[in-house]
Amino acid sequence: MNILAELLAYACLVSGAFFVIVGAIGVIRMPEFYTRLHAASVTETLGSILVIAGLVLLAGFSLVSVKLLMVLLFILFTSCTAVHALAKAAIHGGLMPETDDDD
Amino acid sequence: MEHHLILRVIAKLMIPLILVFALYVQFHGEYSPGGGFQAGVIFAAGFILYGLIYGLDKVRQVISPVTIRITAALGVLLYAGVGIAGLLLGGQFLEYNVLASDPVHGQHLGILLIELGVGTTVASVMIMFFYVFARP
C-alpha cells in the first residue's frame, strides 16, 4: 500500500514536471500572444495540479497535505484570473488573435 | 463597474485570505519559516491588490496616508520600546530574558513583540510606497 502510494506520487510528479516543461516550450515556440498564454496556462493548471497531487501523496494524511491543498486551491483561483486579466488587457490594447482568415 | 467583474469577484475572495495568511506568517514565525518582514509584505500585498483593482481612492478610504504614517512610526516605537523595557528591567538593550518572570516566557514575549513591530512598520511602509508611486 505504501509502495503503491509512493509509486503513484512519483508518477504524478514526473508527469506534472512533463507538463511544466511542455508549457515552457510552448511559451517559447508558440507564434503569438494568445497561443503563448494558452501554453502558459497548461503549466499553471495541469502541471501544478499533478505536482501538488504527487506531493500530497508523499506527505500522507497530515497538516502538510492540507496546506498543500490550500496552495493548490489558491493557485487554481489566481492563475486563471491572471491569465484572464492578461488576455483582456491585450484585447483592450488592440491586439487581435491571428486567424487563418486574415489576409 | 461591469468592467473587471471577474477580477473584482476573485479579489473579494482572495484579499481576506491574504490578510489572514499574513497574520499566520506573523504569529507562527517562531516555529516555521516566516516572521515580521514577510508577514508585513504579504499584509501590504492584500491592500495593494485592493488598490490595483478598486482604485486608489477606495483604498485611501480604507487606510488613509496619515494613518499609514502613524502606524509606520508605531512599529518602530514598539521595537525600540521592547529594547528600552529590557534596559529598565535591569537587562541589556533588547534582552528578552528579563521581560517576564521566566526567561523562556520572556524570550517568547520579546520575539513576538519585536516581530509585531517589524510587521507593522514593513506593512505600513510598503503601502506608503504604493501610495507615493500611484499618486496621479
Find the mean pLDDT for residues B69-84: 93
Interface contacts (A, B; CB < 8 Å): 16
- Show the cell assigned to A18: 512533463
Q: Concatenated DSSP letters for chain B?
A: --TTHHHHHHHHHHHHHHHHHHHHHHHTTTTSS--HHHHHHHHHHHHHHHHHHH-HHHHHHHS-HHHHHHHHHHHHHHHHHHHHHHHHTTS-TT-GGGSSSSHHHHHHHHHHHHHHHHHHHHHHHHHHHHHHHH--
Q: Which pLDDT belongs to residue A62?
A: 87
Q: Do B17 and A85 touch (CB under 8 A)?
A: no
**What's the gap in Å between the CA of B13 and the closest CA on chain A?**
9
Interface test with B, best of A81, A84, A88 (most B CBs within 10 A): A81
Helix axes A2-29, A48-59, angle to 10 degrees: 160
Q: Which pLDDT belongs to residue B1?
A: 46
Q: Do A85 and B4 touch (CB under 8 A)?
A: yes
Which residues of chain B make contact with A79, given a CB cutoff of 8 A?
none
Find the mean pLDDT for residues B54-66: 90
Q: Do A81 and B17 touch (CB under 8 A)?
A: no
Cα–Cα nearest to B20, from A53, A14, A74, A31: A74
**What's the gap in Å between the CA of B134 and the closest CA on chain A?**
19
**What's the gap in Å between the CA of A77 and the closest CA on chain B?**
7
Residue type at B9 in one-letter notation: V
Residue type at A15 in one-letter notation: S
Cα–Cα nearest to B65, from B119, B15, B135: B135
- Complex-level ipTM: 0.74
Q: Which pLDDT belongs to residue A60?
A: 83
Q: Do B13 and A77 touch (CB under 8 A)?
A: yes
CA B115 to chain centre: 9
Q: Which whole-number Å values give the CA distances from B18 to A17, A52, B80, in the listed order?
A: 28, 20, 28
Q: In 10 A of CB A29, how many CB atoms?
A: 10
- Show the cell assigned to B21: 495568511
pLDDT range class, residue A94, cuts 50, 70, 90: confident
